[in-house]
Structure 1
Amino acid sequence: MASPEHTPEMEPLDRLTVVLYRSGLSLFALVSALKSAELLSGVRILGEWHLPLIAAAAATASANIHLYDPRFRWFFPLMSWLGFIALAFTLPVHAPNLVNSLANLSLAFFYAGAAMFAVKEYFCFRIPGLPLMPLLLGGSVLLRWAGFFTGEGMLLAPAALLYCWLVWAKWWMPLHYDIGDKSMYKI
């Protein structure tokens, strides 16, 4: 977590990675809000584009996250990689039930990563409800797996609203807050 007292020297790559990280979080917020609206209204908005857009959001955010502690730095992208591996196995499979299960498993990994981002950002913003993100997103995947799509939408809606609040707060803070003290990266 960055210290407001420290202003690091920002290189162009630093600015780019911060903008990409925030863009990934923003895409996740938007897609989650649209998917929850789709599930609750019954009107097709994203359809089959939901999972690819969530995957793109997870990849963009996890590839550009700035964490000091190397023990955690690898774990965030790991969730996205596991999601992509599960998603890749849907390609050669021709059994619809197995394809659906693998797609839901990949979504679970992408949501786990998104929940981790929310909990990480809670330490910066103290937005009430962000620590509940693992329950909201995990519960929505379980309800999806069970075929209770209205329930999935009911859990995804507050998660999307919290994420929208988070990205609104994130974009209002200076870019260097995401970088912090580079000497803490231990590279």
Structure 2
Amino acid sequence: MANPEHIPEMERLDRLTVILYRLSLSLFALSTTLEAIELLTGLSLLGRWYLPLAAMSAGLASANIHLYDPRFRWFFPLMSWLGFIVLAFAMPVQSPEIARQLSVLSLAFFYAGAGMFAVKEYFCFRIPGLPLMPLLLGMAVLLRFTGLAAGEGIFLAAAALLYVWLAWAKWKMPLYFDIGDKSMYKM
């Protein structure tokens, strides 16, 4: 986990990866907010673009997360990869119902990754409420499987508010907070 007291020497790649990671958190916050509004009001804001945006933000965050512990470093991107693999299998399926279920399953993996990012950020920076993210996103995807859009919208709205708060808090922090002590990466 990052150590805010340590100020590392930042390279261009460090700055880029931190900015991309924060951008991905912001994209997930925005797309989840719009999806929650869509589910609760019936307005069509993102429509079928929600899943690609959730996938893109999870993949981008996975590719740019800074974790010291190698046991966890591989696990975060795994969630995104599993989501992309399931989504790839959903594309050629002829049955609309099976394709929908596979799409929701892929979203579950992207949500698992998003929940893990939130918990990671809680352990690093103690932003209140973030440990609830896996529960909120888990309930949202469970309700999506069952087709209860209003219930899904409520859980997704709560998750979106927390993610907006997370993204806002991250952008207020200096970039080096995300890097910490680079020597810890070389375990």
TM-score range, shorter chain: over 0.9
Alignment of 1:1-187 (within 5 A): 1-186=1-186
Inter-partner Cα distance in structure 1 for 2:23 and 2:126:
20
Secondary structure of 1:45's match? coil
**TM-fit CA distance, 1:186:** 1.6
Deviations 1:118-148 (A, max 9, x none): 0010123322221111110000000011010
**TM-fit CA distance, 1:65:** 0.2
* TM-score scaled by length of structure 1: 0.98
Which letter maps to 2:78?
L
Unaligned ranges ≥5, structure 2: none
Inter-partner Cα distance in structure 2 for 1:94 and 1:5:
55
Which letter maps to 2:53?
L
**TM-fit CA distance, 1:5:** 2.2
Moved over 6 A (4+): none
Unaligned ranges ≥5, structure 1: none
Deviations 1:75-112 (A, max 9, x none): 00000000000000012211111100100000000000
Inter-partner Cα distance in structure 2 for 1:104 and 1:150:
16
Indicate the RMSD between aligned Cα atoms, in angstroms: 0.8
Secondary structure of 1:89's match? helix
Percent of aligned pairs with the same residue?
A: 72
* TM-score scaled by length of structure 2: 0.98
Which letter maps to 1:132?
L
- Equivalent pairs, count: 187
Which letter maps to 2:130?
L
